[in-house]
Chains A and B, each alone.
Chain A
């Protein structure tokens, strides 16, 4: 019975680490504009960071061929030809880290043309690191209890 109880507690702890709501970080939403240059096969800047609730405007500037910018998780996108900048505006209402991906085939490495949008802190990464540590802890604890049995 005891190992099962410990296992149950550890699983419970894992669920808490993964899903427990965090105290919301308050910051008044502001409008932010980013000038993002797209070239084969990168965005410059490669990462943009905003706070949850911000109104984000991305001005996409293609500097060689036609590129796009698709925000993973948000499902919004914009395309720009060189010389014809395009803007994308959306409210960053989901927090976390999201990939920006080119959605106009722009050459061989196009599928790997990625950038990053950070909305608030990357809490899922921290939760994952904690889960990894908890996983190790569980292995030690369970190994000890099974040895004692």
Chain B
């Protein structure tokens, strides 16, 4: 396993270490975020022409799932504007270090919430209402504003970034899939950390905050909970923090085998299958049902959705694991360890699903950027751009490539993780193959 340290280049290192480049990006992102919220409230209620919908659910989503997560892991979290206001308030400053005694409550998040379950629930809630959130600017704005205010509120009550770490519906799956990314933040030498007095990377110093993600960099073994915020790069007195390029899926070699993360994988896998059927399929009545939130039929849809992600997919996987059991060890451990194979599979399912609607609706971006509020502006001369699917002949081949590649990747992962779980990899691989067949059939 070869790694290539990017921070060995002074330019990259200084760009990351200096507070101002990131701050500039934060401020621009925050302005865009606030503008999206404003646009959703006052702009046209027509989703496909409102900046909030087009830039959040087409442009941002495309960048996130097709580029940021697969190649940069939590790269998005490094520039996400949602927590910055809470950060500033928590610290009481934009540039200056935090005071020794916090002005706010600064509570520790209770232990039972220090896991991914709240994120599983928040993502599932967003997923159940996605047909409305995805298409209605006002609702998108309410969700975005709620995330902003929740993150501010949690920053004032709890220490560090409680929202990012334990509640953000997006943060959970980015963390899960970040394990596959070819980019990581790690310490150069663990011994340096072991002997480091005061651990400023975790506790903070004059140079920056203690890890906002509540992670001790010296103990980092996987990307899941490292937000790439670069604070430790700034605080480390021993120049011991590195950003490395590494092979894809490096973190999956050592399965984390946690039930919350395992269910995150099932939620993501199931949601991509349900969306492929509901949103990309030709069954119109199920679209109406998914959109008619709180109607009796919608409760049926929600029950079906929940059954797929919490019942059918984990249930069948449980059977596969049982079927392939070689050694008798804790079934829970076997289940969670074997589920590591679903991480690359789920990521590529989302890539394949997103390709179809991102390329189809990309022309909305041109129209929306010239007339973001639907007021008849033409800022860049592209307001009249007609809807037209882009590169539609490439969609199906690319989807096949993503899904088949994802399947091979997950099969390889299964072969590596199955022995650690004490099971045969074959039933897990058959499970992945069946899921891929289903996704291919739904999308092609």
Q: Do chains A and B touch in the complex (CB under 8 A)?
A: yes
Chain A residues engaging chain B, CB cutoff 8 angstroms: 18, 39-44, 46-47, 70, 72-73, 96-97, 99-101, 103, 105, 108-116, 122, 124-125, 127-129, 131-133, 135-136, 138-140, 143
Instruction: Given A72-B392, A125-B441, A143-B415, decide whether A112 and B280 contact each other with a Cβ distance below 8 A.
Output: yes
A-B contact pairs, 13 of them (CB 8 A): A42-B284, A72-B392, A108-B131, A109-B131, A109-B288, A111-B361, A112-B280, A112-B357, A122-B444, A125-B440, A135-B408, A136-B408, A136-B433
Complex A-B, nearest 4 residue pairs according to Cβ-Cβ distance, in ascending order: A42-B284, A46-B282, A108-B135, A135-B408
Residues of chain A lying within 8 A (CB to CB) of residue B288: 40-42, 109
Instruction: Given A105-B48, A131-B404, decide whether A112 and B282 contact each other with a Cβ distance below 8 A.
Output: no
- B54–chain A nearest beta-carbon distance, Å: 10
- B228–chain A nearest beta-carbon distance, Å: 31
* B282-A103 in contact (CB<8A): no
Give Cα A111–Cα B275 distance, bound, in whole angstroms.
Answer: 13
Counting CB contacts under 8 A, is B287 at the interface? yes
* A108-B437 in contact (CB<8A): no
Q: Which residue of A lies closest to B400 (CB)?
A: A128
Question: Chain B interface residue count: which class?
Answer: 35 or more
Given contacts A39-B284, A110-B135, A128-B440, 19 further A-B contacts (CB under 8 A): A40-B284, A72-B360, A72-B389, A97-B396, A99-B280, A108-B131, A108-B132, A108-B291, A113-B287, A116-B282, A124-B396, A125-B444, A131-B400, A132-B437, A132-B440, A133-B433, A135-B405, A135-B408, A139-B415
Residues of chain A lying within 8 A (CB to CB) of residue B284: 39-44, 46, 113
Residues of chain B lying within 8 A (CB to CB) of residue A139: 408, 411-412, 415, 429
Counting CB contacts under 8 A, is B328 at the interface? no
Candidates A43, A101, A129, A143; contact of B389 at CB < 8 Å? A101
Instruction: Given A39-B284, A143-B415, decide whether A109 and B291 contact each other with a Cβ distance below 8 A.
Output: yes
* B287-A112 in contact (CB<8A): yes
Residues of chain B lying within 8 A (CB to CB) of residue A96: 396
Instruction: Given A108-B136, A111-B47, A129-B437, decide whether A136 and B282 contact each other with a Cβ distance below 8 A.
Output: no
